[in-house]
Amino acid sequence: MSISHTTHTLDNAELRNFYEKAGFRGRVGWGERPALLVIDMAGAWTSPEEMLGSDLSAVEDHIVELLGAARRAGLPIIFTTMAWDPSLSEIGEVIRRKTTHSVRMLHGSTNVELRPRMERRPEEPLVVKPRASAFYGTNVDGMLISAKADTVIVVGCSTSGCIRATAESAFNRGFHVIVPAEAVGDRSQTAHQGNLFDIDARYGDVEPVADVLETLRALPARADA
């Protein structure tokens, strides 16, 4: 059975109902120990003049709010970027040919540096990932387990790529996945909307930023916050 003439967006009640009848869009909710994953808020993705970039200033504003609430509660916070050695040997031919921007994502370049407004603290690791998912080829899984986290709040970019891939990996590992809708972004609005719908249907709970902030602010404050 299929449904036609619909817009692939969270606002489409008809499509949501169609997916629910197919056994998707179950609500998982929050676990007991959330962590915040900030995905690729670095120069190449967030500077409109860059080959890969787009205007994510509104997304950045929401992430800054979430970072403040997470730090107040003493939650684990992990940042990611994507970078390779200038030799390009670790990228591989397939990746270079499919995503030609990859050759610009080099260690030490401004393209892979975090946005200054992230204000990353010394205790907040910056993970350099080789592929879209924050879990692929990294120790993010181990860090979350060590922190006893059971919930990951995924923010950053891009919704159709690294956000979706990270949400899927976290779901496959048994984490509760929360995606604040306004705190993720994409260079394509249609890709953003379609992938938010799919993440909400298959991998996690997409929630308004205001609701996520309310949950975080209800957590006890860290003693030294």
Catalytic residues: 162
> Are residues 189 and 55 in contact, defined by beta-carbon separation less than 8 angstroms?
no
CB neighbour class for 87 (10 Å; exposed up to 12, middle 13-18, buried from 19):
exposed
Q: How far apart are CA 176 and CA 205, in angstroms?
A: 8
The tokens 């970027």 sit on which residue?
81
Q: How far apart are CA 26 and CA 73, in angstroms?
A: 28
Residue 10 main-chain phi, psi, to 5 deg: -60, -25
